[in-house]
C-alpha cells in the first residue's frame, strides 16, 4: 500500500489523507470540497485562476513550475503560498485556506441578508 | 461619425504552455490554426474570414494581453481617436504589421487598465466554406467545431467608469445593466454591444486588468450538448453548465483552457438594436440574471470571483 500522508486543513481543523502520487487538490476534492458544509470546488485545475491557492504552514510539496504568475506571484511562492492543483505532498502537511473576496457575491449576500 | 466599431476582432491570450494550448484550441475546440511562430499561435473559427480572431502567446502568466475591435473605416478610426483623447485616453498609433497580418491601428487603456486596440484591416483568409454556393457547414470539423468568437467579459474595480468610457468614447450601446434597485441608474455591471448581439463586451466588478472569460459562439442549443460531450471526453474542466443566463437570455457552458483561462461556449440571446431600452437587473435578483436555472449563491461565488 502507498504511504498515506495526512493533510490538515485550517482554519477548519479537518484532516484528509492521500499519497505522493496525487495533487493536494485531488486529495481535497475527494475528501474536503463539497463535504461538511464546504462548497464544491470551482477552479481551473490548471494553475491559472488562484482559486486553489492556500498557505502552506507545515510540510513539503513538489510544486509544478508551469503555472500563472498572476495566480501565484514569485513573492507569494517564497512566502510558502502554493497552488494545490500544482502541488504533490512530500510529507504530512498543514495548509490554511485564504479569505476570498468577490464583489458580486458580497453584493448578493448583503441583499439576501437584508431581505431575510 | 460613420459606422464606428463593427465587432470584436481578436483577443491576445496568454498561456503558460503553448503546446497544451494548441492541442486544446485546435483538437478540442476545433479552431483552425492559420499560422504559428515559436511563441504565438494564430487561430480562427470555420465561419470567420479574417486571418485570426485569437492569438495565443506563450507567457509565464495566464490572462488577457489585449483585445482588439474592428472598425469600419479609417475615417471612423480617426474620429474615434479624437473622442478617445477627449475622454482622457492616451492613444498610441499602432503601425501596420506591428500586429501580425493587421493594418494600422490605435492602442489605449480602458479606465480598468485593460489594453484595447482598434484596427480596420486584417489579411483575408476566407471561411472554411466557399463564397459561392456554400454548404451550411464544412466537412471535417474537429471536436466542438466553434464557428467564431463572440464576446468577452472583463473585471474592473470601478465598472461604471469603464462602462461610461466605452459608451462615450467608443459609442458602445448598452443592452443590460445591474443596479442596486429599480430606481438606481449607476451600473454595477453592464453588457455592451456594437454588433447586433446583446454583448460584445461586458464589465463586472472585480480586479482591474483581469479577464473573466472570452466566449465562442455556437449556432444552436444542441451544439452545447455536443460541446459538453467533447469537454468530458477530453477532461476539460467544466466550470458551469449547461445553464441559461437571465442577462442576454443566452445559453452556456463555462470551462477552462489548459492555462486556466475561463472560456465559454454561448448560443441564443436576442437581436440588439442601438435604440433598445436598457434592461435592468436589481442586485437581489442578480443570481438569476447570471444563472437562471441554478441561481445558487455558491455557484455565483466560484464563478464571479475567479479570473485570470
Ligand atoms: S485551480 Fe486554478 S490555479 Fe489551481
Ligand atoms: Fe459570456
Query: What's the Rg (C-alpha) of chain B?
Result: 18
* Candidate from A48, A66, A107 with C-beta closest to B283: A107
pLDDT in tens, B271-305: 999 999 999 999 999 999 999 998 887 778 778 88
Report pLDDT for B2.
Answer: 61
- CB within 8 Å of B199: residues ≥ 6 apart: B151, B153, B175, B176, B191, B192, B193, B248
Can you list the residues of chain B whose pLDDT is less than 50? 1
Same domain? For B294 and B167 the reply is yes
Same domain? For B212 and B81 the reply is no
Look-up of cell digits 451550411:
B136
Q: pLDDT (tens digit, 0 to 9) for every residue of chain A, 116 residues total?
A: 567 999 999 999 999 999 999 999 999 999 999 998 888 898 999 999 999 999 999 999 999 999 999 999 999 999 999 999 999 999 999 999 998 778 888 888 777 666 54
Q: Quote the domain boundaries for residue B301.
A: 148-305
Same domain? For B15 and B74 the reply is yes
B301 and A105: CB-CB below 8 Å? yes
C-alpha distances (whole Å) from B129 to each of A102, B121, B125, B231 are: 44, 21, 11, 26
In a domain, B56, yes or no: yes
Please report, for the domain that includes residue B42, its CATH number: 3.10.180.10
Same domain? For B55 and B159 the reply is no
Looking at the structure of chain B, the number of domains it has is: 2
Q: Whose CA is nearest to atom 3 of ligand 1?
A: A47
Mutate to test the pocket of ligand 1, among B16, B256, B260 (most ligand atoms within 8 A of CB): B260
Judging contacts by C-beta atoms under 8 Å, the chain B residues touching residue A115 are 284
pLDDT in tens, A33-43: 999 888 889 89
Percent of chain B with pLDDT over 70: 99
Whether residue B4 contacts residue B71, with contact meaning beta carbons closer than 8 Å, is answered with yes
pLDDT in tens, B193-222: 999 999 999 999 999 999 999 999 999 999
In a domain, B133, yes or no: no
Report pLDDT for B238.
Answer: 95
Same domain? For B254 and B110 the reply is no
The domains found in chain A, sorted by start residue, are 4-114 (3.10.20.30)
Q: Report DSSP state, residue B277.
A: P
ipTM over 0.95: no
B237 and A44: CB-CB below 8 Å? yes
Q: Please state the pTM of the whole predicted model.
A: 0.95
Q: Cα A97 to the chain's mean position, in Å? A: 6
Amino acid at each position: 500500500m502507498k504511504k498515506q500522508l495526512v493533510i490538515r486543513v485550517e482554519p477548519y481543523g479537518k484532516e484528509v489523507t492521500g499519497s505522493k502520487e496525487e495533487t493536494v487538490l485531488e486529495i481535497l476534492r475527494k475528501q474536503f470540497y463539497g463535504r461538511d458544509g464546504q462548497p464544491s470546488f470551482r477552479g481551473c485545475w490548471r494553475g491559472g485562476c488562484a482559486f486553489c491557492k492556500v498557505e502552506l504552514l507545515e510540510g513539503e510539496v513538489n510544486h509544478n513550475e508551469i503555472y500563472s504568475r498572476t495566480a501565484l506571484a514569485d513573492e507569494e511562492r517564497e512566502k510558502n503560498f502554493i497552488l494545490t492543483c500544482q502541488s504533490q505532498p512530500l510529507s504530512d502537511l498543514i495548509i490554511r485556506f485564504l479569505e476570498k473576496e468577490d464583489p458580486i457575491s458580497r453584493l448578493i449576500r448583503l441583499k439576501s441578508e437584508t431581505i431575510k | 461619425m460613420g459606422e464606428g466599431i463593427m465587432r470584436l476582432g481578436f483577443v491576445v491570450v496568454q498561456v503558460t504552455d503553448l503546446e497544451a494550448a494548441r492541442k486544446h484550441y485546435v483538437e478540442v475546440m476545433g479552431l483552425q490554426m492559420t499560422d504559428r511562430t515559436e511563441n504565438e499561435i494564430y487561430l480562427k473559427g470555420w465561419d470567420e474570414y479574417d486571418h485570426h480572431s485569437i492569438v495565443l502567446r506563450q507567457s509565464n502568466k495566464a490572462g488577457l494581453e489585449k483585445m482588439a475591435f474592428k472598425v469600419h473605416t479609417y475615417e471612423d478610426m480617426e474620429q474615434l481617436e479624437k473622442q478617445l483623447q477627449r475622454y482622457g485616453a492616451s492613444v498610441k498609433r499602432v503601425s501596420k504589421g506591428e500586429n501580425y497580418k493587421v493594418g494600422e491601428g490605435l492602442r489605449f487603456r480602458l479606465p480598468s487598465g485593460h489594453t484595447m486596440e482598434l484596427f480596420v484591416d486584417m489579411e483575408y483568409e476566407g471561411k472554411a466554406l466557399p463564397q459561392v454556393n456554400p454548404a451550411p457547414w464544412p466537412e471535417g470539423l474537429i471536436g466542438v467545431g466553434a464557428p467564431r468568437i463572440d464576446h468577452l467579459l472583463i473585471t474592473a474595480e470601478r465598472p461604471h467608469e469603464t462602462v461610461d468610457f466605452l459608451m462615450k468614447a467608443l459609442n458602445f450601446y448598452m443592452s443590460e445593466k445591474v443596479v442596486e434597485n429599480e430606481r438606481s441608474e449607476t451600473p454595477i455591471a453592464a453588457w455592451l454591444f456594437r454588433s447586433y448581439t446583446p454583448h460584445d463586451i461586458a464589465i463586472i466588478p472585480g480586479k482591474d486588468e483581469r479577464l473573466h472569460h472570452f466566449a465562442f459562439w455556437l449556432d444552436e442549443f444542441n451544439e452545447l450538448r455536443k460541446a459538453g460531450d467533447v469537454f468530458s471526453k477530453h477532461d476539460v474542466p467544466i466550470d458551469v453548465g449547461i445553464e441559461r443566463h437571465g442577462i442576454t437570455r443566452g445559453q452556456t457552458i463555462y470551462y477552462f483552457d489548459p492555462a486556466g483561462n475561463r472560456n465559454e461556449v454561448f448560443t441564443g440571446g436576442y437581436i440588439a438594436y442601438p435604440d433598445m431600452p436598457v434592461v435592468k437587473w436589481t442586485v437581489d435578483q442578480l443570481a438569476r440574471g447570471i444563472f437562471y436555472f441554478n441561481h445558487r449563491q455558491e455557484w455565483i461565488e466560484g464563478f464571479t470571483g475567479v479570473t485570470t
